[in-house]
């Protein structure tokens, strides 16, 4: 019975690394987004020294496994690789399948804090990654530890522009991308590094949401748009009212009721109008019936004037007739006297 139990345990141990390795392959993201803090806190730009015979720099004064290769910083910590385009992060997790070969080839002696399993390995040779990550990794990254040492590429230039950014002046991720694009013209050779740089140029989800939102409008534009919206949304059966005194913004006031207060942009426009125009708009409004009587008053006055003129003409004609009759009577009297 114990033999069977031990056999099952050994079988599970043998199957687990393979299952774990396949899971890593299926979800491999290469170099992730720079959003990790791994405990490295550098107060200033580190001193970098070249690794002889390799296109890599290492940081002899940093208490960690800190390197620079192909325009990026690389850190090996807690059995994982991390990368960043700036010397103090933030850091991105790197899958074992995506670590550049020249980073894998860095000799053991340049690891300032080598892990325990590095013990016994040759200091001038690279770590035995195949033994650490398993046969599947060794098979897929076959040839990583064999290269022509006479055809080693040149080292990438150090991004010395980052020296002026430290402490409180250290930029956040968005500023890091802008400063890199403006100050560092080197184009990386490694495919994983190129993908990571391109991924950093792609807007993050929060940035994409901000770009998708409409740009902010000024208060004046919003005020100009609101009257148009009110006109477009007004009902079709709304009766037009005759123009009233006090301008277009005058409101009808029913006797015995307080005048309604203006809201929204109308109130804002009223504040901007001259005081005289506001006083004119705030003057009491007439009832439509009174206004109609006021409009009809000139017509009635004109009719009365025309009637008076007619009466005067008639009176003048009668007076003329009487005068003419009186003259004729006088002539008759004079004739009789004769």
pLDDT tens sequence across 31-86: 555 567 888 889 999 999 999 999 999 999 999 999 999 999 999 999 999 999 99
Q: Are 84 and 73 in contact (CB under 8 A)?
A: yes
The mean pLDDT of the chain is 73
CA distance 307 to 64: 115
CA distance 23 to 98: 15
- pLDDT per position as a tens digit, 255-292: 555 555 555 444 544 445 555 555 655 555 555 555 66
- Determine the straight-line distance between the first and last CA of the chain, rounded to whole angstroms: 182
Question: Helices then strands (H, E): number in the chain?
Answer: 11, 6
Show Cβ contacts of residue 123 under 8 Å, excluding neighbours closer than 6 positions.
107, 108, 109
- The stretches of the chain forming alpha helices (DSSP H) are 2-26, 101-104, 129-133, 135-140, 173-183, 191-201, 205-212, 219-232, 265-272, 275-282, 288-337
Can you name the residues that pair with 75 across neighbouring β-strands? Answer: 66, 82
CA 203 distance to own-chain centroid:
11
Q: Where are the domains of the chain?
A: 31-206
* pLDDT confidence tier of residue 308, bands split at 50, 70 and 90: confident
What are the CA-CA distances from residue 291 to residues 89, 256, 295 (Å)? 78, 18, 6
């Amino acid at each position: 019975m114990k033999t069977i139990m031990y056999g099952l345990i050994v079988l599970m141990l043998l199957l687990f690394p393979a299952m774990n390795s396949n899971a890593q392959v299926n979800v491999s993201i290469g170099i992730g987004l720079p959003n990790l803090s791994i405990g490295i806190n550098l107060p200033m730009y580190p001193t970098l020294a070249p690794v002889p015979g390799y296109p890599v720099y290492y940081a002899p004064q940093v208490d960690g496994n800190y390197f620079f290769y192909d325009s990026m910083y690389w850190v090996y910590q807690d059995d994982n690789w991390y990368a960043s385009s700036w010397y103090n992060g933030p850091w991105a997790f790197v899958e074992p399948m995506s670590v550049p070969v020249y980073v894998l080839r860095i000799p053991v002696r340049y690891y300032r804090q080598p892990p325990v399993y590095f013990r016994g390995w040759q200091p001038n040779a690279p770590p035995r990654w195949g033994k650490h990550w398993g046969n599947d990794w060794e098979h897929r990254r076959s040839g990583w530890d064999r290269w022509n040492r006479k055809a080693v590429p040149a080292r990438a230039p150090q991004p010395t522009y980052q020296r002026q950014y430290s402490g409180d002046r250290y930029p956040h991720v968005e500023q890091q991308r802008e400063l890199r694009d403006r100050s560092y013209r080197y184009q990386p050779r490694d495919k994983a590094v190129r993908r990571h740089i391109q991924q950093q140029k792609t807007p993050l989800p929060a940035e994409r949401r901000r770009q998708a939102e409409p740009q902010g409008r000024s208060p004046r534009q919003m005020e100009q748009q609101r009257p148009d919206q009110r006109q477009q949304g007004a009902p079709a059966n709304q009766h037009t009212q005759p123009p009233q005194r006090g301008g277009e913004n005058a409101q009808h006031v029913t006797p015995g009721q307080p005048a309604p207060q203006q809201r929204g942009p109308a109130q804002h426009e009223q504040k901007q109008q001259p005081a005289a125009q506001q006083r004119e708009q705030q003057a009491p409004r007439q009832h439509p019936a009174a206004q109609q009587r006021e409009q009809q008053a000139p017509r009635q006055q004109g009719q009365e004037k025309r009637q008076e003129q007619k009466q005067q003409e008639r009176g003048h004609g009668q007076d003329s007739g009487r005068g003419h009759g009186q003259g004729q009577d006088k002539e008759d009297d004079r004739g009789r006297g004769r």
